[in-house]
Chains A and B, each alone.
Chain A
Amino acid sequence: MAEEFESGANGHGQAGSYYGHGLPYLPIDHYPGKIIAVEGTDGVGRSTQIQLLREWLEVQGYGVVETGWTRSALMQPTIEMAKSSNTLNKLTFVLLYATDFADRLEKEIIPALKAGFVVLSDRYIFSALARAGVRGVDRAWLRSLYGFAIAPHLVFYLKIDVDTLIRRVLSARGMDFWESGMDLKGGDDIYDSFRAYQNKLLREYASMTDEFGFRVLDARRPVDAIQDDLRRQVQLFLSNSNIGVEGTPLDAAAR
């Protein structure tokens, strides 16, 4: 009913703080943990990179918590059910995702930040902004909606072109209904639809790169090369932060 939005997710968010009004009953300032988000489209290799990064961080003594889109205990069954019946409209799609994120934020992410963990997030709000943006949902409203999100400390964007993506997805597992944007009714051919939809998604991510300060990684390279890049940047960030190797979560708990 309001026409103008006071605040929301935008590039001026301070890492570790809420973008907008946040959750007034959960102040989070000065929590020692860090959020590292890995973004990128479907099939780009996010999970592989996160798994490798996690092991590497844990070997160094960091406590790591992993969280991922639609993985909340509250919403995962509902989202699966809604997707399988193909009855989602663009608004309910957005609201289900936002509810999933809200649940994980309160129950996983914030407690982990408080306890000094590194939170590795497989996708973050940017995937939701991209998918909804492609479907024509008002961008200002979306950013206002996600005003309760916390600005991550680092956002890595695994960038790929659509041709490489198609080869990779076809050889790995094939195209699925939602990843192909079949709900947008662009045509009956899943291949054409996938290409058109993913192209639009990639444009959305590209437009957010500057807005939100993504660290872009070329995802066409071998897994190890990407991982090396990730580790170098994460290492640099963590060694300059208050949970460097001397201040691991274990030490923090002992104080």
Chain B
Amino acid sequence: MIVLADRYAYTAFARDVARGVDRRWVRDLYSFAVRPDLAMYFRVPIDVSLDRLMARRVKLKFYEAGMDMGWSQNIVESFRLFQGKVLDEYDRLVHEFGLSVVDASLAITDQQQMVRNLVSQQLERPALVETAAG
């Protein structure tokens, strides 16, 4: 079976550390997680993600905007500050865990092409039959 996971432990690594949790502790905590065969990170600048959320007129969520941190009463400003730290952490994770970066500011079809290429490469590997993760 192929398990498609929408977010994984990396989300916790990025968000929790942005909130001030110890980097090493949160990694140790999730040491019970299976290491994925392929982890894709859709990277997008904050302005683009804000524009997209605003264009759909969604209300920014309290925790998504890091309002619990008390950095700003303005939810858009808080989102910028908090997600900025989250993105910094993701950049660190890319190197630490070898995440495959997909440029999420590209057109959806281009992104999907990249995703299919990455997945194909993974599926063609004979190692898939083994359950042990890299």
Contacts and interface: CB of A to CB of B under 8 A. Distances in A.
Interface of A: 1-3, 5-6, 8, 20-25, 91, 141, 144-145, 147-148
A8 B24 CA distance: 11
A1 B25 contact: no
Contacts, number: 44
Interface residues of B, number: 16
| 4 cross-chain pairs, A with B, having the tightest CB-CB distances, nearest first | A25-B20, A21-B22, A144-B28, A2-B31
Contacts of A148: 22, 25
Interface string B21-51: 1101101111111010000000000000000
Nearest to B133: A1
Interface of B: 9, 19-22, 24-25, 27-33, 35, 97
B20 A1 contact: no
A1 B35 contact: yes
Given A1-B9, A25-B20, A20 B33 contact: no
A22 B22 contact: yes
Given A144-B28, A148-B22, 7 more contacts: A2-B24, A6-B24, A23-B21, A141-B28, A141-B32, A145-B28, A145-B29
A150 to B, nearest CB: 14
A6 B19 CA distance: 21
A5 B20 contact: no
A91 B97 CA distance: 24
Contacts of A23: 20-22
A142 to B, nearest CB: 11
A21 B31 contact: no
Contacts of B29: 144-145
Nearest to B22: A21
